[in-house]
Structure 1
């Protein structure tokens, strides 16, 4: 049975969690050190991280986990159409104009003006379409991937593909699948021998969360969502030489809001608030992410302890017993403790060909909801979960 269509994975009005994979063309190391030419393209990993951070401030999509390697990247995201529904037409218009100004980025020297925002907001039909796009995975990935490809081609003075094709997506069906997938993503650099452990796995969500918990701050890449007064924008374009204006815009991209934020502030919080209601969208107060809603019933400290324990078992081939408090958290999710490391380390082996990932029961329910009797991965996953 083939992989499910994207239209079957997520409905336009549905909050859903997805594991996304995007690879470079022919799996070349276009974000690392080229083994043939020895050219180092590692700086592009930071391009991608900052672009994700910027999009987290405009799209109604929560960034749960990510990892950027030398030839591919992983994202775990949550679509939030419920967040878009809370935004005014003006807010929707402003976000759209920041990401898709309507002209090639190099030529777009003017900032969105108050008049631009009001004009777009008055077009109710177009705004309705944009609302759907701002929580749509395909539009999010388009806004992420295309600018990176253009910038890389410009750097090398060439044309052609940077990414091998469309991204692959996989629905996460329950908390057990989400925990395993998040840790699989966070440990990707360790598995690829690019890092010793989570604490030095730069360009992963684990690295950012560790930095945030230690008080590390970064220059925010979030878009400035305040429109410029129309008269002020016109005067700037009229009175400022093009080269000077271009340099100014490039400098503003480094820190559009002139703010410093905790290193993990742009990521969705890891822990659910026990007092929050399921229907509460928890719109972000800081404006650098879609919402302040967590995604796991686990503290960040427990998550990092389990992540580090899981990483050590593969590296040292240790037979150490998992700490009792962590065992209890896995047992609650129906995960077989003895199979936990294998589930995380070989996540792709269990779920790589499946359109979704989770416990066999939740996968079965997902199959039924899409008119199927079963989904790939159900049988293999049974070995990792309690009956």
Structure 2
């Protein structure tokens, strides 16, 4: 039975989530259709561009992404600190970049005085919108609806574009987060459509490598109301990918709890190991992160190949997975005990 999204996502327990969505049609989401000869490569850019814009509006950071031929992966982090710090004007201005909002909110933004009933209505709207700005469900709704509509217009057809609701996995600790990010970043290499990190198009690792020394871009947003008249405009910087903060290895509300140099060393080693045609794929010395976390090379390589299949809606230390299931899903059976124990060896 399909579970309510609130049973799968709990930002208080963990801010990190792996989400996947797949195209329902035989025709590709991206890539080239060998039967018709038509290329859909440009659609990859639609997804990457949209997640950048949405991340700048929502209080949600993108840790990793990979856009494949008929599906895509995201690793997202809900930033509760950011959403709780938003002022009323911040909430309204962000929401009006997504939807028309409400005439009462527009009146407030113009500095006009509100009567008591309007103020009560506005307070309720702001509370609702503020909650939604930290919602992965609303983030995915905004992403998937726009891509589906653009694809339908391009294909001159109607109907469902996605096979169903997006799938999500809660990442409860640093091992789960690291393994999932690596699984996502290495998708093209694992699928055999790229032979290096630099040639893994439309992935976060390619972007991180290519933008090590580049400045951030900004994008000007013009906010509009129902009658199409411009109310005001803001300059919204496109948010970069979530940062590696190099903190102690624990999942917190801060950034990704590793140093990027360590992550880069590990993903390079892992990418070579899962490509048997790469010379020097087996290195006798384990990368620093594996040694620090006490993960065996065999368990790590299995995880980076099969992470999506190893778990269901949650990944992490086994006792934490069972606790999460019991709290949010009424003690339903938990998948992935052996895989969890392999990534979390006993001291």
Report the TM-score when normalising by structure 2: 0.83
CA apart distance, 1:373: 7.4
The Cα offsets for residues 254-308 of structure 1, whole Å up to 9 and x where unpaired, read as xx9597x8xxx6211023457xxx6xx7xxxxxxxxxxx4212x22122111101
The Cα offsets for residues 78-128 of structure 1, whole Å up to 9 and x where unpaired, read as 12233211111111000000011269xxxxxxxx97865667995111111
Instruction: Give 1:323's match in structure 2, choosing from 275, 285, 301.
Output: 285
Map of 2:57 onto structure 1:
58
Map of 1:332 onto structure 2:
292
Map of 2:242 onto structure 1:
268
Cα RMSD after superposing both structures = 3.3
Determine if contact 1:59/1:95 at 8 Å carries over to the other structure.
yes
Map of 1:357 onto structure 2:
315
Residue 94 in 1 paired to residue 80 in 2?
A: no
In 1, the alpha carbon distance for the partners of 2:181 and 2:66 equals: 10
Determine if contact 2:22/2:162 at 8 Å carries over to the other structure.
yes
C-alpha distance 156-227 of structure 1, shift in aligned 2 (>3 A): closer
C-alpha distance 319-152 of structure 1, shift in aligned 2 (>3 A): closer
CA apart distance, 1:33: 0.7
Determine if contact 2:266/2:289 at 8 Å carries over to the other structure.
no
The ranges of structure 1 where at least 4 consecutive aligned residues each deviate by more than 3 angstroms after the TM superposition are: 2-5, 11-15, 112-122, 216-220, 256-259, 367-371
Structure 2 gaps of 5+ residues are: none
Determine if contact 1:23/1:164 at 8 Å carries over to the other structure.
yes
In 2, the alpha carbon distance for the partners of 1:375 and 1:312 equals: 32
In 2, the alpha carbon distance for the partners of 1:51 and 1:338 equals: 37
Determine if contact 2:30/2:43 at 8 Å carries over to the other structure.
yes
Deviates more, 1:372-381 or 1:193-202: 372-381
CA apart distance, 1:227: 6.0
Q: Secondary structure at the match of 1:50?
A: helix
Q: Secondary structure at the match of 1:131?
A: helix
In 2, the alpha carbon distance for the partners of 1:12 and 1:181 equals: 17
Q: Secondary structure at the match of 2:97?
A: helix
Determine if contact 1:12/1:132 at 8 Å carries over to the other structure.
no
Aligned ranges for residues 13-28 of structure 1 at < 5 Å? Answer: 16-26=15-25, 28=27
Structure 1 gaps of 5+ residues are: 104-111, 238-251, 282-292
The Cα offsets for residues 22-46 of structure 1, whole Å up to 9 and x where unpaired, read as 0011464121111211111111111
Determine if contact 2:63/2:75 at 8 Å carries over to the other structure.
yes
Residue 342 in 1 paired to residue 302 in 2?
A: yes
Determine if contact 1:30/1:71 at 8 Å carries over to the other structure.
yes
The Cα offsets for residues 287-334 of structure 1, whole Å up to 9 and x where unpaired, read as xxxxxx4212x221221111011011121265623535x2x4223324
Deviates more, 1:94-103 or 1:33-42: 94-103
